[in-house]
């Protein structure tokens, strides 16, 4: 009967061989929980920043207002038909006057010439990127208005907290784009 030692050695060898593969390819990390805004990131550090109750109240009010503005921006992006399009109302596509599109003189669709292809959507930012830029701008405006009320030493520390938060948001977006 062969000695029982090869089986445990085989198991250990397989585990050791599998371990570097697991370490080399870590499981996708769950999205880190970031604060909703730069203001929320500052509020989370209120003790470190030594914010007074009055300052906390102002930041909370500014953050609540920011949340409403950001939600409105998201709703507008989710329902673009509600947003103004810049087209005059009541005019059908192609117009209603004489000309090629209406069957008037000119020989039908563009006088026999082929219509150029519509511009590709990849030439500019995606709707998601436009929304992110709008949300970032709202966050920046709200933060700058709120931090303006802080004394200089607190303002510098709060700006550092907000900058770290924004870097983390940017890094998270980049990771999501890479997927």
List of residues 6+ apart from 121 with CB closer than 8 A: none
62: left (phi over 0), alpha (psi -120 to 50) or beta: alpha
pLDDT at 89: 47
Tens-level pLDDT at each residue, the chain (179 residues): 555 545 444 333 333 344 444 444 444 444 457 899 999 999 999 999 999 999 999 999 999 999 999 999 999 988 766 555 544 444 445 545 554 554 555 555 555 566 766 655 567 888 888 999 999 999 999 999 999 999 999 999 999 999 999 999 999 989 988 88
Question: Which pTM was predicted?
Answer: 0.59
pLDDT at 78: 81
C-alpha to C-alpha distance for 35 and 166, rounded to whole angstroms:
10
Q: Is 147 exposed, middle or buried (0-12, 13-18, 19+ CB in 10 A)?
A: buried
Q: Is 139 exposed, middle or buried (0-12, 13-18, 19+ CB in 10 A)?
A: buried
């Amino acid at each position: 009967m062969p000695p029982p030692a090869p089986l445990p050695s085989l198991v250990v060898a397989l585990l050791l061989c599998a371990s570097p593969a697991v370490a080399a390819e870590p499981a996708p990390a769950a999205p880190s929980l970031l604060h909703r805004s730069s203001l929320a990131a500052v509020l989370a550090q209120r003790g470190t920043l030594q914010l007074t109750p009055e300052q906390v109240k102002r930041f909370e009010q500014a953050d609540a207002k920011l949340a409403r503005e950001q939600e409105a921006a998201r709703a507008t992006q989710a329902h673009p038909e509600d947003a103004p399009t810049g087209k005059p109302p009541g005019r059908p596509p192609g117009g209603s006057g004489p000309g090629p599109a209406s069957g008037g003189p000119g020989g039908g669709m563009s006088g026999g010439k082929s219509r150029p292809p519509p511009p590709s959507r990849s030439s500019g930012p995606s709707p998601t990127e436009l929304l992110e830029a709008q949300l970032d701008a709202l966050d920046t405006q709200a933060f700058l208005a709120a931090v303006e009320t802080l004394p200089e030493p607190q303002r510098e520390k709060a700006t550092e907290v907000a900058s770290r938060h924004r870097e983390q948001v940017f890094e998270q977006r980049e990771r999501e784009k890479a997927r």
